[in-house]
Amino acid sequence: MSARPARSVHPPSALELAEARQIIRATLAPTPLVEAHVGGKRLWLKLEGLQPTGSFKVRGALAALNNVKRHEPGRAVVACSAGNHGLGVAWAAKLLGIDACVVVPATASPAKIAKLKTFPVELLLEGETFDDAETLALALANERDARFVSPYNDTHVIAGQSTMAAEIVEQLPEVAHLVVAVGGGGLAAGSALALSLHGCQLHGAQVAQNAAFAEAYRGDPVDLDALEPTIADGIAGGFEPGSVTLALLHQVDFDLTLVSEMATFRAMKTCLADVGLVVEGSAGVALAAALARAEEFDGEIAVALSGHNIALPRLLEVLGTP
């Protein structure tokens, strides 16, 4: 008998989106959408740091593992992650009773690694980059006949991530703009699907020194050697060629804003000073883009503060930003 494929990726169907909404609504409370003045701008902040793992990534992980439990009972999963997706997979695996292996680079955030060690999953630290971890995770999934769960290039992960934007529309029907950080595009692609029948404009944000997705979106070759370290570790690293997220975002009205590392630091510091919220680098990227472009946007602006998992030494660096 031939081995089962480790993955099969396609744009989520209406049924798959509905199944994701069902498990998310049954399991996770909607996160708050709060009005705030940040850096002199009035914004609506989606507080995904209040998820049980401290990040929106739990949405996609829960949807993906729920699909495995429903359609491939007894099958284990293998995931690669910069940290937050791994936490989501670990949390969902514990909830659903699924065996899981999570591969993260050895250079991942110490705060995220420490959290991962509290879950009953197999945790492997591999290589210096997300791409190293992804290579091992794919090989392990094939070797073990397990389901590979990508943090972004996965049908059910994208379906799960769509629920964040769906919540925003329910909470603020008049929302006109949504800004999200982009790494592999899972949150952006899911948001695009959720907003397909709504007039809200979707905007992506990346840090300029580590913007593989932006290169791929423009049709340029992705130069992994040119990527520089960034505090936005959750969206750093390479981009899988042919990812379904790229195709989905090319089909909708979507734009990308590149922000500097310093702008990201300042947005994180401003968020703490003005609103009292600690956010990680990926959330800082989205907030920096929203602050930079707020004057050109008409109508209500929502920003996905995607997570709050940041190590204390890095937070102290942020607080020292001039």
Question: Secondary structure of 22-61 in the HEC alphabet?
Answer: HHHHHHCCCCCEEEEEECCEEEEEEEHHHCCCCECHHHHH
For residues 133-161, give the mean pLDDT. 95
pLDDT in tens, 244-299: 999 999 999 999 999 999 999 999 999 999 999 999 999 999 999 999 999 999 99
The share of the chain scoring above pLDDT 90, in percent, equals 86
Domain boundary among 149, 170, 191: 149
Q: What pLDDT sits at residue 137?
A: 94
Residue 142 within any structural domain of the chain: yes
Domain boundary among 149, 171, 199: 149
Residue 193 within any structural domain of the chain: yes
For residues 22-28, give the mean pLDDT. 98
State whether 109 and 230 are in the same domain: no
The total domain count for the chain is: 2
Residue 10 within any structural domain of the chain: no
Q: What pLDDT sits at residue 2?
A: 44
Q: Are strands 122-125 and 100-104 parallel, antiparallel or unpaired?
A: parallel
State whether 304 and 196 are in the same domain: yes
How would you class 289 by CB atoms within 10 Å of its CB: exposed for 0-12, middle for 13-18, buried for 19 or more?
buried
Question: What pTM, to 2 d.p., does this model score?
Answer: 0.95
Q: What pLDDT sits at residue 107?
A: 85
CA distances from residue 86 to 54, 72, 273, 305, 317 in whole angstroms, order as listed: 12, 20, 30, 18, 25
pLDDT in tens, 160-190: 999 999 999 999 999 999 999 999 999 999 9
CA distances from residue 316 to 86, 114, 268, 269, 278 in whole angstroms, order as listed: 25, 18, 11, 10, 11
Contacts of 17 (CB under 8 A, 6+ apart): 159, 162, 193
pLDDT in tens, 219-231: 998 888 899 999 9
Distance of CA 315 to the CA centre of its chain: 20
Structural domain boundaries enclosing 100: 57-149
- DSSP line for 192-238: HHHTTTS-PEEEEEEEGGG-HHHHHHHTPPP-GGG----S-GGG-S-
State whether 307 and 223 are in the same domain: yes
Domain boundary among 149, 168, 202: 149
Q: Residue 314: pLDDT above 70?
A: yes
Q: Residue 101: pLDDT above 60?
A: yes
State whether 194 and 258 are in the same domain: yes
For residues 53-79, give the mean pLDDT. 97
pLDDT in tens, 235-244: 998 888 889 9
Q: Are strands 41-47 and 33-38 parallel, antiparallel or unpaired?
A: antiparallel
Q: Residue 3: pLDDT above 80?
A: no
Residue 14 within any structural domain of the chain: no
152: nearest Cα among 162, 142, 143, 144: 162
CA dihedral 159, 222, 285, 149 (to 10 degrees): 30
State whether 120 and 80 are in the same domain: yes
Give the CATH number for residue 200. 3.40.50.1100
Tokens read off for 308: 């709050």
